[in-house]
Amino acid sequence: MTPSATAQATTRRFVRADGPDKVTGSGRYTADLSLTGTLVAKFRYAQVSHARITKLDVSAARAMPGVFAVITDADVPDVRFGPMVQDRRLFARDVVRFEGEIVAAVAAVDAETAQRAVDAIVVEYSPLPIVNDVESALSPDSPLVHEDWADYGAPGVMVRNRNDASYASIAKGDVDKALAEADFVVRSHYESDGCHAAPIEPRAVVAQWEGNKVTIWTSTQVPFDARAGVCETLELPSSRVRIIVPHLGGGFGGKCGFHYEAHVAALARIAKRPVKLVFSRREEFLAPDKRREGIVYDFETGVKADGTIIARKARLVIDNGAYTADAGFFSQLAAMHALGPYKIPNVLSEAHLAYTNHQPSGSVRAPTAPQTCWALESHTDEVANKLGMDPVAFRKLNAVDSNVEGPSGQTYGEIGVQQCIDAATAAAGYGKPLADDEAIGVAIGWWPSFASASGAYIKIDGDGSGQIITGAQECGTGAVMTLRQLAADELGMQPEDFELVYQDTSAAPYDMGATGSQTLFNNGRAVIAAAGQIADQLRELAANKLEAAAADIVLADGMAHVAGSPDRGVAIAKLAATAANGELLIGHGSGPPPPAAKAVGNTCVGDIGMTAWRAPQFSCHAVRVRLDRETGVVRVLRVSTAHDSGTIINHTGAQGQVEGGVMMGIGQALTEGTKYDDQARQRNAALLEYKLQTCADAPPIDVQFVEIYTPDAGPRGAKSLAEAPNVATAAAIGNAIAKLVGSPVRRLPMTAERVWETINAGNAS
């Protein structure tokens, strides 16, 4: 579908501003920074999953030659923090709750000395009961992960009880009555393991104090959030904390939030020298509070004989881990994904966020969505099979459409989910004959666009070049690079005419960061607003010079000319040179977020704003796989995708995001999952045991976009994009496997062992 005329934008390919540095190896990442006199930081971790600290002695470490600072909870302000639930401190106090919790930190002259100091720290524990099973955690007699949970600060709307950190429900209609009246009721149970973001670049932080101000270079996706965390935990005003992000080597949500910036800053303040922290790969697995959450699912769907869904119940228990991090809204988000993009008049979806002694969960790409989509869409195929209906026809019948009410009571405008189903299945050759060991699975998914305030400045220099100063953060998606395209389109210039100043909290206005796929969606509006101010200035300057009305001036191809008279014009560079002698060409934009979406007719508990989605994205993935029945090994042969992400601004970047999301989804489907032993310790915290997908595993990937101009959304009718491609892939793979095996594999990832066990369980029965 072609976007409206108002949505048109440059679609030609251009070189990303950060591309040459990255591909030539000349780009500097945080770990590459070296300041004079820099010390090396290392942490002492709990190494046990749940225990009371009975002795903590750092005296031997402090006395070691070459050690400049050793700090514990006693050396920093007594502040409990958390994005929603204030359940955590910088260092463990009295109790440790997961193996990667920080007990102490050291700064020394080199890594070897720092490690010896860490090893010299004496920590003694009294064991506490371990909460290792997510469902058992909700039992009334389960040991408490947080004995003082009721005293933690949290939004009043959150529903918390014992190990249930956040309960949410979405209810509409009379689900029990509808289930009783259904011609068929299908019940399913599924489970998914947690998994990791696993970016190539491990976390790194460098901190340096100058007087009473600290500058922190860090590998974060959210520099303003990181600054806020430092200010809160070290009790500093924001004017004394500067966050700078060098090139970021990927994040996938794992580098969202506030992590170790305050620890390193506190070390640097005591040591009176710069301090650098660089994680090992094992630390990258064990310590961060950003791991994709494991979930247990129960579904119950009632349908009429003609295939119409009339009721759905869902119950989810989410593994929160030891601390809530940014997972406080995951319960309601997961409850929405458990309903899916379907027309269902009667629903009850409940989700619990359960404390365990596992590593904390957090915002890994499209949190709760890929694994919940996998479970729901596997269940959807089970319902279709019960009816004897083709799974695609069943989805076409029940999926939401334009101006139709969704499961939470929200009515959508023009959307393209039906077109996505048609496009993806056609590209995959769905319905055509296949070899006996091959099958095509289909799944649909959705994801919200997160609206947030954002800001940008633009200036045009005297030589006609431009500079965009933005608070937006680039994590590899290319979203910040595309801001140049938006500015160029507004000003009749080329993307290459603009330089970017970004990833520095002291230089740029606020932005939410590279989280929630919101960068282009929100900061793009700010850049267009700032460029629009400069465009008005250029038209006024050109009008005076050309003796024309400002309204008749057109900006195109580096020129300002009179409409209808291309030869009657003046170069933008010449106008900029004139302005540089006086007023300068400067614009600013704040990108106010669009109005919130509304859902009506539902009753919700723990409502934190996730029951209605502004500009939701929709997708359909169709995946062809081959199965070796003797080993359970599954090979993905081809992935066909279709996405409704509104108007696509940068087709090259958008295609790359879909391809990357698909590859991440294949890993989550087949190989990526965290394993715990009976003491709640990770068993596969290394890349040798945690299998990521590589280029050798990549199948052909078809990418199609159903472009629908979406009002009250992002720039030029765009929606968000980067997380949505990660949602439906595992689900489609699961449905293809189920066709070949004869029943679904009920635990994610669907490893060769689990597929083999499912095959042989079927043979045994």
Question: Please, which pLDDT band fits residue 579 given cuts at 50, 70 and 90?
Answer: confident
Phi, psi of 306, rounded to the nearest 5 degrees: -80, 0
Tens digits of per-residue pLDDT, 124-137?
999 999 999 999 99
Q: Give pLDDT, residue 582.
A: 55
Angle at 370 between CA 653 and CA 627, to 5 degrees: 95
Q: Which residues contact 31 (CB under 8 A, 6 or more apart)?
A: 201, 202, 204, 219, 276, 278
For the segment 667-693, the average pLDDT, to the nearest whole number, is 97
Round to whole Å and give the CA distance between 123 and 95. Answer: 12
Tens digits of per-residue pLDDT, 73-94?
999 999 999 999 999 999 999 9
Round to whole Å and give the CA distance between 454 and 75. Answer: 36
Answer for the pair 524, 452: CB distance below 8 angstroms, yes or no: no
Alpha carbon 17 to chain centroid distance? 23
Q: Give pLDDT, residue 4.
A: 33
Bond before 749 cis per omega within 30 degrees:
yes
Of 4, 22, 13, residue with least CA distance to 494: 13
Tokens of 125: 């524990």
CA atoms 28, 32, 36, 42: torsion sign: positive
CATH architecture of the domain covering 33-128+203-278: Alpha-Beta Complex (3.90)
SS (H, E, C) 46-115: CCCCCEEEEEEECHHHHCCCCEEEEECHHHCCCCCECCCCCCECCCCECEECCCCCEEEEEEECCHHHHH
Pick the CATH number of 366-450+608-764 from 3.30.365.10, 3.90.1720.10, 3.40.50.2300, 1.20.810.10: 3.30.365.10
Round to whole Å and give the CA distance between 550 and 320. Answer: 58
Percent of the chain with pLDDT over 70: 97
Of 646, 336, 344, residue with least CA distance to 521: 646
Sequence letter at residue 747:
R
Q: Give pLDDT, residue 601.
A: 87
Q: Give pLDDT, residue 2.
A: 35
Instruction: Name residue 447's beta-bridge partners.
Output: 617
Q: Give pLDDT, residue 593.
A: 87
For the segment 431-435, the average pLDDT, to the nearest whole number, is 97
Helix 417-428 with 391-398: angle, nearest 10 deg? 160
Tens digits of per-residue pLDDT, 315-370?
999 999 999 999 999 999 999 999 999 999 999 999 999 999 999 999 999 999 99
Judge whether residue 487 has pLDDT over 60: yes
Alpha-carbon separation of residue 217 from 206, 274, 408, 466, 507 (angstroms):
5, 11, 43, 26, 14
Question: Please, which pLDDT band fits residue 592 given cuts at 50, 70 and 90?
Answer: confident
- Torsion over CA of 352, 353, 357 and 359, rounded to 10 degrees? 140
Of 348, 344, 291, residue with least CA distance to 680: 291
Sequence letter at residue 355:
Y
Question: Please, which pLDDT band fits residue 762 given cuts at 50, 70 and 90?
Answer: low
Instruction: Name residue 364's beta-bridge partners.
Output: none
Pairing of strands 565-571, 309-321: unpaired
Q: Which residues contact 388 (CB under 8 A, 6 or more apart)?
A: none
Largest separation between any pair of C-alpha atoms in the chain: 88
Question: Please, which pLDDT band fits residue 602 given cuts at 50, 70 and 90?
Answer: confident
Answer for the pair 242, 506: CB distance below 8 angstroms, yes or no: yes
Judge whether residue 167 has pLDDT over 90: yes
Same fold, 366-450+608-764 and 454-589: yes
Answer for the pair 321, 328: CB distance below 8 angstroms, yes or no: no
Tens digits of per-residue pLDDT, 2-41?
333 333 444 556 678 888 888 888 999 999 999 999 999 9
CATH of domain 454-589: 3.30.365.10
Pairing of strands 275-278, 204-210: antiparallel
For the segment 722-751, the average pLDDT, to the nearest whole number, is 97
Q: Which helix (H) or strand (E) holds 321?
A: strand 309-321
Q: Which helix (H) or strand (E) holds 336?
A: helix 330-339
| Whole-prediction pTM | 0.96
Tokens of 699: 């199948």
Kindly report the average pLDDT of the chain as a whole number: 95
In the chain, where the domains are located: 33-128+203-278, 366-450+608-764, 454-589
Q: Give pLDDT, residue 18.
A: 86
Pairing of strands 159-161, 67-71: unpaired
Q: Give pLDDT, residue 8.
A: 43
Percent of the chain with pLDDT over 90: 92
- DSSP 8-state secondary structure symbol assigned to residue 201: S
Tokens of 314: 């869902």
Answer for the pair 170, 335: CB distance below 8 angstroms, yes or no: yes
Q: Give pLDDT, residue 5.
A: 33
Round to whole Å and give the CA distance between 598 and 604. Answer: 13
Tens digits of per-residue pLDDT, 514-560?
999 999 999 999 999 999 999 999 999 999 999 999 999 999 999 99
